Amino acid sequence: MPAILNPAIKHYEWGDIAALPDLLGLPRDNKPWAELWFGTHPDGPSTLETGNGIAPLKNVTGDLSFLLKLIAVAKPLSLQTHPNTVQALAGFNRENSLGVSRTATNRIYKDEAAKPELLCAISEFQMLCGFAPVGESLARAEQNGWHEIAEQLQSNGLEATVRWALNETSKPNIKNLPQHLQTLASLYPNSGGVIVALLMNHVVLKPGDAIYLEPGNVHSYLGGMAVEVMTSSDNVMRAAFTTKHIDIDEFFATANFIPQATRSVTPPTSSNPVSRFQIPSAPFSVERWHVTSGISITAEHEVEIYLCVQGQSGDLRQGQACVLRRGENLNLAESSLVFRVWGDPTN
């Protein structure tokens, strides 16, 4: 039998009180279950059962370069971005030299790693992701009577408009808000982040759809449940929609303001039970297994983590994850959906 992982449970304010407990078959406790972490990051390390009792996953695998999460979003996340490798290393060393504790609430760089992310929807998943073309935003602003936004875009461009919106003296007074932003505006009625949200791509993923967020991508998750895979990092630059620490300067230092289409990486439909997400630049690899009959998998990489999100899959049941070392086997059963993840240090 493979080693079953005990995830770190994160009860953030935006979490869902039902989705993750129901998936795990656990009673609801009225806490917001936001994330389950499967990995070795020091802010949320997993444990596993060994012959000598419960041990940190790190003791068995060493530090993993990737982090696998299950997330459930009931309220919008912060408007945020993540650093690239150069920025992360410089920021981590800078905060260390300033004597900022890793556990301090105003600590931004928790580690030295960049934070690219793959998100694969388990339910319908809504998000704001990157900036829409300025021409589209300008036309939408003029059509809806958002004259001050239109004037800022025309006169100063996108980045300066975002900076203006996030300035504490800017108070949005916006009518005709699109439906996907109405909850956001009601939760944060005085936030200039609502103006920024109007300039972003609204993305709705169907179950099974996936998207890749490179470092610098400005985003906010609005609602839904998903699998997330990323480097083992918790570096987040927040600008709005949160009670956590906000650092506007660091947000602008790391954010990408070049409008671009979202990067869908959803594998094409196939009769093959396994499909790999094609992300050549990612430092991790992810496969999705639609299991319909009994199958045995042998781990081909130094460390692999498997997560079952649907069905009772032989050695794994819904909501469980396990770790395999190279050459170890996992038996999967019919009618299940399993994610397989491993690190790729060459990228």
* Global pTM value: 0.94
Q: Is the pLDDT of residue 137 over 70?
A: yes
Confidence grade of residue 347 (pLDDT, cut at 50, 70, 90): very low
Give residue 182's pLDDT. 93
pLDDT digits (tens, 9 = 90+) for 239-272: 999 999 999 999 999 999 999 888 889 887 777 7
Q: Do domains 76-266 and 277-343 have the same CATH topology?
A: yes
pLDDT digits (tens, 9 = 90+) for 175-207: 889 999 999 999 998 899 999 999 999 999 999
pLDDT digits (tens, 9 = 90+) for 210-232: 999 999 999 999 999 999 999 99
pLDDT digits (tens, 9 = 90+) for 12-28: 999 999 999 999 999 99
Task: Provide the CATH topology of domain 277-343.
Answer: Jelly Rolls (2.60.120)
Q: Which residue, among 44, 26, 13, 118, has the nearest Cα to 320 in the 3D structure?
A: 26
Give residue 168's pLDDT. 66
Classify domain 76-266 at the CATH class level: mainly beta
Domain ranges of the chain: 76-266, 277-343
Q: Is the pLDDT of residue 286 over 80?
A: yes
What's the average model confidence in pLDDT over 151-160? 96
Exposed, middle or buried, 222 (CB in 10 Å: 0-12/13-18/19+)? Answer: buried
Q: Is the pLDDT of residue 346 over 90?
A: no
Give residue 160's pLDDT. 96
